[in-house]
Structure 1
Amino acid sequence: MSSLNGMRVLDLTQYLSGPYCTMLLGDFGADVVKVEKLQGDDQRRLSPFVNDESAPFMAINRNKRSITLNLKSEQGKSILFELVQKSDVLVENFRPGIAKSLGIDYEAVRQVNPGIIYCSISGYGQTGPCRTKGGFDILAQGMTGLMDVNSPSGDRPVKIPVSFHDIGASLTALYSILCAYIHKLQGGAGQYLDISLVDSGLSLVPVEAAAYFVNGVVPKVAGTQNLLAAPYQAYKTRDGYVVVGASNQKLWEKFCKQVVDRPTWIEDTRFATVSDRVAHIDELERIIELVLTHEDTGYWVEKLDAAGIPGGPINTFDQALRDPQVIARDMIVELEHPRAGKIKNLASAAKMSGTPAQIRMPAPTVGQHTVDILSEMGLTTSEVEALKRDKVV
């Protein structure tokens, strides 16, 4: 039994911010119908490819059925509205104004289904001076200050090398949809959800924002240093780096006594409190590394573990995907795709005893389920063929 059995989702999204959200809904049992333009989601053209199928697309579009629709045609729009009548949720990530120009905005859709939960994901949201601009993850990283925080002073801006804001917006959309769905199940009405990449990214840095609001401190490039705690970063060892999480006073004292055998550091006024250690963070880093560079990373991880202090290595990405902890948590699954063959996906991070995520099917090929979905709507084979000839589907 899946927790979202019975939920019907219309997915009018492409690239990452929308499809990742709808994939998660599908993982927990929702029937997700991906509505694609006739040539398919633009992400289908991103490499690398396996038998002409995009690996990035397959990574975030499992558990969905695909129908292709020409939404610029009246027949295509009519089919969409028929699907809307039987749906609980519609998710789109068009640039603001596009859905209205197509006649499929919230006001139009709610006329067909007043109980619809309509979620719009965009770069800047539906209001504000930037609302009409197209928005991608890199633009949101620039606007929210994260590229500046991640850049050495006076150097070129450095992008965070993952789609931080896209995924953040997906997760914001996900919990917003679930809250709205619970509200509807409790007798409430449908509603409109306005999700922004910029808003979502900012919401993920509350501690840094709090520090700025209180004392005007702007986060600086700090490598792996933490501006609120120390030692809480990666330190150089003889053969690499080790991450140390001795963030509070008790762990600091255990680190000094049981890991590096430097009990005198506890009495050093420069390092007496967390605030003192942060104030002298560069000097603290220097003296810790003078000790740690005498042994390999594995040695220090064992010492940290024995002392009960959070610590670990810095894996390369390929090492992370082979890490015994990742394997033990079943974080990699293998699927059989109709064209690409056996492919690997990252599994759901949510581990639930009663209603676990279920990966029922791989990402669809373009329009793979068009005929099935139209047949469910009552169309005959000849009617479907006529729609194909007219380039509606």
Structure 2
Amino acid sequence: MAKINSSNALARFRVLDLSRVRAGPTCVRMLADFGADVIRIEPPKGVDPNEGMFAADRLGGDFQNLNRNKRSLTLNLKKPEGLEIFRSLVKDADVVVENWRPDVKARLGVDYESLRAINPRIILASISGFGQSGPYARRPGFDQIVQGMGGLMSVTGFPEQGPVRAGLAVADSAAGLYSALGIFIALLEREVSGEGQWVHTSLLHTMIAMMDFQAARYLNEGDVPQQAGNDHPTSSPMGLFQAVDGLFNLGASGEGSWQRLCAALARPEWLDDPDYANEKLRVKNRSKLNAQLQAVFSVQSVSHWVDLLNRAGVPTGPVYTVPEMFEDPQVQHLGVVKEVIAETGIPRRVVTQPVRLERTESAIAAAAPGWGEHTDEILTELGYDSERLRSFRAQGVV
């Protein structure tokens, strides 16, 4: 098997994946799902004392979801022979992705200048916690640390509750996607210049970018964002309400939605209330407005309000648990879940790519690889014979 054929979109590119944990694998997963030949390079078992963090449970849902459509090569880059094999791969590769601390790649000789000397067309994508230079460059970066430093925890949760982490790895996942976007831009630019370049992003910068309008409010209006619970900080009515049998979200932002909401609820008098004359006043008088809305909503079911208000053009939706989310008919229609068969024959379910290309669609053609599953295959492609493979294993190179 020369490669995993998931899509034709990126089939002409080879990616060497040195990354671990979440941000890097998220980036590379997108390239793999759209057909790039991704070689996941990981140390042989027992070489990395932290291997339990990122590779212990190969059949676990998280590992399978992050690393499908990739081939696995075990390679000890601390040995000269292992580094030489890696450099041989770099000669014909398009992209290298890593998320080590900045000093590690220079110490191993896989920094951008070293790679460029081997292949001037190579693109090195580096993901770090805090950037490739600066006072925090050598700090280890984890998602929750950056959620705190990037401002997200200060605006998550209810007033006076204290900082609250988001329930998913926002900084990690977003940094991976930003890095993939940077790679795509570099590949497009290379078509003009013929040269690769170094692409790098950090969890910290990514987290601040994800703060988006909250950050922009402070920078331009001096408005310090606060915790707002389930209410939107700058729009009203927008938040969580209790129906007779559960909770639902309402998003009546803007004058058009506000007018449609009042009409659907048969409350035309709210349109004449001076406290609700515009969005700013509805935010200012949110407590009064929410109480009036809650009195209306408490007498009917979630499905009643979701159906009625969406028909009226007012965004409304139920609040699901994760199992309920996957049972939703629209989620099933979108093909969000795909089953793959892992190396042991055990079926695993993973989440598909949310971006659709009608002509060159992504696909999930293979489960995440076993540890070093494709080592012999890849080294044979490089021209090594069986005797050299035995030698490499005896020396702990692979």
User: Which category of TM-score, normalised to the shorter sequence, fits these structures?
Assistant: over 0.9
Contact 1:46 1:56 in 2 (8 A): no
Write the letter of the residue equivalent to 1:354: R
Write the letter of the residue equivalent to 1:209: A
Pick one of 327, 331, 334 that aligns with 2:332.
327
| TM-score, normalised by the number of residues in structure 2 | 0.94
Instruction: Sort the Cα spacing of 1:96 and 1:48 in 2 relative to 1 into closer, same or farther, 3 A.
Output: closer
Contact 2:20 2:54 in 1 (8 A): no
Runs of 4+ in structure 1 deviating by more than 4 angstroms, as ranges, are: 40-49
Partner of 1:361: 366
Deviates more, 1:31-40 or 1:20-29: 31-40
Pick one of 357, 369, 377 that aligns with 1:352.
357
Write the letter of the residue equivalent to 1:165: A
Pairwise mapping of residues 50-199 of structure 1 onto structure 2 (< 5 A)?
53-199=59-205
Partner of 2:225: 219
Deviates more, 1:34-43 or 1:294-303: 34-43
CA distance in 2: counterparts of 1:270 and 1:9, whole angstroms: 58
SS of aligned partner of 1:168: helix
Contact 1:46 1:54 in 2 (8 A): no
Q: CA deviation at 1:64?
A: 0.5
Pairwise mapping of residues 221-370 of structure 1 onto structure 2 (< 5 A)?
221-258=227-264, 260-339=265-344, 341-370=346-375
Can you list the C-alpha shifts for 1:132-174, whole angstroms capped at 9, x where unaligned?
1010111110101111211444444311010000011001100
Can you list the C-alpha shifts for 1:312-369, whole angstroms capped at 9, x where unaligned?
1111111001111110011100001112611100011112111100212110000000
CA distance in 1: counterparts of 2:68 and 2:114, whole angstroms: 29
SS of aligned partner of 2:85: helix
CA distance in 2: counterparts of 1:372 and 1:46, whole angstroms: 23
SS of aligned partner of 2:324: helix
CA RMSD of aligned residues (A): 1.7
Q: CA deviation at 1:70?
A: 0.6
Write the letter of the residue equivalent to 2:94: D
Contact 1:123 1:136 in 2 (8 A): yes
SS of aligned partner of 2:45: coil
Contact 1:44 1:53 in 2 (8 A): no
Pick one of 363, 383, 393 that aligns with 1:388.
393
Aligned pair count? Answer: 390
Write the letter of the residue equivalent to 2:368: A
CA distance in 1: counterparts of 2:257 and 2:209, whole angstroms: 29
| TM-score, normalised by the number of residues in structure 1 | 0.95
Instruction: Give unmatched runs, 5+ long, in structure 2.
Output: 1-6
Can you list the C-alpha shifts for 1:62-90, whole angstroms capped at 9, x where unaligned?
11000011110000000000000010000
Query: Could you tell me the percent identity over the aligned residues?
Result: 34
Write the letter of the residue equivalent to 1:378: G
Write the letter of the residue equivalent to 1:280: N
CA distance in 1: counterparts of 2:51 and 2:279, whole angstroms: 46
Instruction: Give unmatched runs, 5+ long, in structure 1.
Output: none
Instruction: Sort the Cα spacing of 1:43 and 1:241 in 2 relative to 1 into closer, same or farther, 3 A.
Output: farther
Q: CA deviation at 1:113?
A: 0.9
Partner of 2:4: none
Partner of 1:374: 379
